[in-house]
Amino acid sequence: MTDTAVATAAETQWVAPKRRRLVNLRNFPTFTFASWAVLFFLYLPLLHVVIYSFNSSRIATIWESPSVKWYIKTFHNDDIQRALINSFQIAIGATIFSTVLAVLAALGLQRMKRAGSTVAWALIGAPLIIAEIVLAVGTLGFFMAVGIPLGKVGMTVAHTAFCIPFALIPIRARLGQLDNAPFEAAADLGANESQILRRVTLPLLSPAIISGALLAFAISIDDFITSFFLSGPSSTTLPVYIFGMIRSTVTPEVDAISTLLLLFSGIVLISSYVLNRRRR
């Protein structure tokens, strides 16, 4: 029997292995209840904030009638506007620095060996798992020891540090999915590493870079714990200002500010998700 006949017979007798059947969680009796319970406790407080932001009463927990007066008051509150400007200034600075460092880190991790890359990623991604209160206390002590001024400068530096892993996640994922063909073609055409970086790598990474920047911006502008520890007299951010309002008097104005902040964060995160879908 020839080799071709043997191969044909082997192919005929070969049977594809059965595909493993995944566990269907819907068959568990408590799965549906648990799912709805999680959604209920996760999103009902947010829905409560949105609804009561349109409450005309001065007491946040007592409903009287629909009204938008608290939104109007929010837009005319000079303290809120200053806090919002501070939040945007710090978030923009932290986003720029953290995104640039995230791109450099992603390129460096790509060229490292697997063991070194794992260790480096563990160190860079530590802010994702370490309690923020620990980072805030440590950062405050470190800044006071080395003389870094508190306020906008200190918060920008601290926000940059913990925003790097959030910006790095989509950039690193995108870089790992890129085909080597464009880079090899550019090298064959005589492009050096600098030209390949500017004309090939960065354009291919641009959707992931924008997505990572949006994530870093959303994380920075929503941060409270680190901002609370590092803020100065004239550098109060919006989350810190909201906390101060809650400690004095709780009015639906707090709900109105929270709703606007929630809406803004939702737009940023949805934009990041859309960019991630497009890059695939």
For the chain, which domains are there? Answer: 70-279 (1.10.3720.10)
At 200, which amino acid appears?
A: V
In sequence order, the 6+-apart residues with CB closer than 8 A to the CB of 9 are: 1
Q: Could you tell me how far CA 172 lies from the centroid of its own chain?
A: 14
Other C-beta atoms closer than 10 Å to the C-beta of 14 total 8
Tokens standing for residue 107: 């390129």
Q: What is the pLDDT of residue 192?
A: 78
Q: What is the pLDDT of residue 19?
A: 52
- pLDDT tens for 91-108 read 999 999 999 999 999 888
- pLDDT tens for 124-155 read 888 888 888 999 999 999 999 988 888 899 99
State the pLDDT confidence band at 263, using cuts at 50, 70 and 90: confident
- What global pTM score does this model have? 0.77
- pLDDT tens for 196-226 read 777 888 888 888 898 889 889 989 988 999 9
- Helices and strands in the chain, H and E counts: 13, 0
CA distance 75 to 134: 35
Confirm if 87 and 237 have CB atoms less than 8 A apart: yes
Partnered with residue 55 across adjacent β-strands are 66
76 DSSP assignment: T
